[in-house]
Amino acid sequence: MKQIWYELKSQPVISAVTVIGTALAMFLIMVVVMLHQVTVIDLAPETKRSRTLYMGRGILEGFGSNKNVIQSNLSTAIAAELTESLEEAEATSIYCPYVSRALANTEGNPTFAADAKRVDDGFFRIIDLEFIAGKPFDRADIMSDLRKVVITESVARQAFASDGADVIGRTLLIDDVPQEVAGVVADVSPVTDVAYAQIWMPVSLTAPTASWGNPNMGDMRTLIVPRPGRDEAVKAEVNRRLAVINTRLAADSCTLSLAGAPYDHEHHKADEYPVTLPDVNKGRRMRWMLFGILLLIPAINLS
């Protein structure tokens, strides 16, 4: 230690550069690790990431006279057929993953833009939004096509100059359509991309949806939280339901696949638009290469 201290004092400039450079390199490694961790660990309000199975990307082969291949999310009907009433699941949800820019205002007040997402009632049993006032809309509200929404406290303050219980039941115009405020929640970070929105609106479970001119494809994805230890049972049941769907589609010479879904959160983050089961090992290799390169800097400084 005395020798080290002597060297540091005898060459202060070089010593300072070495120490600061090593510290900054280690800090950079910590930042990179943290940025990755916040996307994969259980993080409020996505507190069930480690237990959730994700599904939604569909590949429909043999569609139309030209036997086209369609890659899209699922229609509401197909998503519901695959996930609703799963015996081995604690909760399931059908939601649209895309956030749309909506114009909101109240009578006599300026219009402002907010991020809106369409979800079903099961979404609030999987995503633990912190309710400040009110409650989420339920299945009866959705099936009755009642126009109820959940908003963040920042939207409530901007629209009503309040984020308390007095906001519940009041009318918010969203794209000029009157919507009743059912609940107010704490603001959500965009880091939690599945949960993130500023306004949550009911997804239509009754109106037919279609993508690429096919009623089996649409904008919907699903979340499934299996009962403890029942992940494989849930996957097996989903695959059985998929086989039934494909038996029906065989009449039109079509085949639907789910790109290896349902799969866990790590696979979900590995590829947003997979055509097969996402390769998590590729991402791991890239991270280890990055860590190795970053570690070279402090290694050279120390040497």
For tokens 């633990």, what's the residue? 128
* Domain positions in the chain: 2-40+280-302, 52-93+214-270, 97-202
Rounded Cα–Cα distance for residues 278 and 12 (Å): 51
What mean pLDDT is predicted for residues 204-225?
84
What mean pLDDT is predicted for residues 130-157?
95
pLDDT-derived band at 209 (thresholds 50, 70, 90) equals: low
What mean pLDDT is predicted for residues 113-128?
97
Q: Tell me if the bond preceding 45 is cis, omega within 30° of 0.
A: yes
| pLDDT, tens digit (0-9, with 9 covering 90-100), for 45-83 | 999 999 999 998 999 998 777 788 989 999 999 999 999
Which range among 120-129, 144-153, 204-213 shows the weakest confidence by mean pLDDT? 204-213
pLDDT at position 8: 66
CATH architecture of 52-93+214-270: 2-Layer Sandwich (3.30)
Q: Which of 267, 275, 224, 258 is nearest to 92 (CA)?
A: 224
pLDDT at position 52: 98
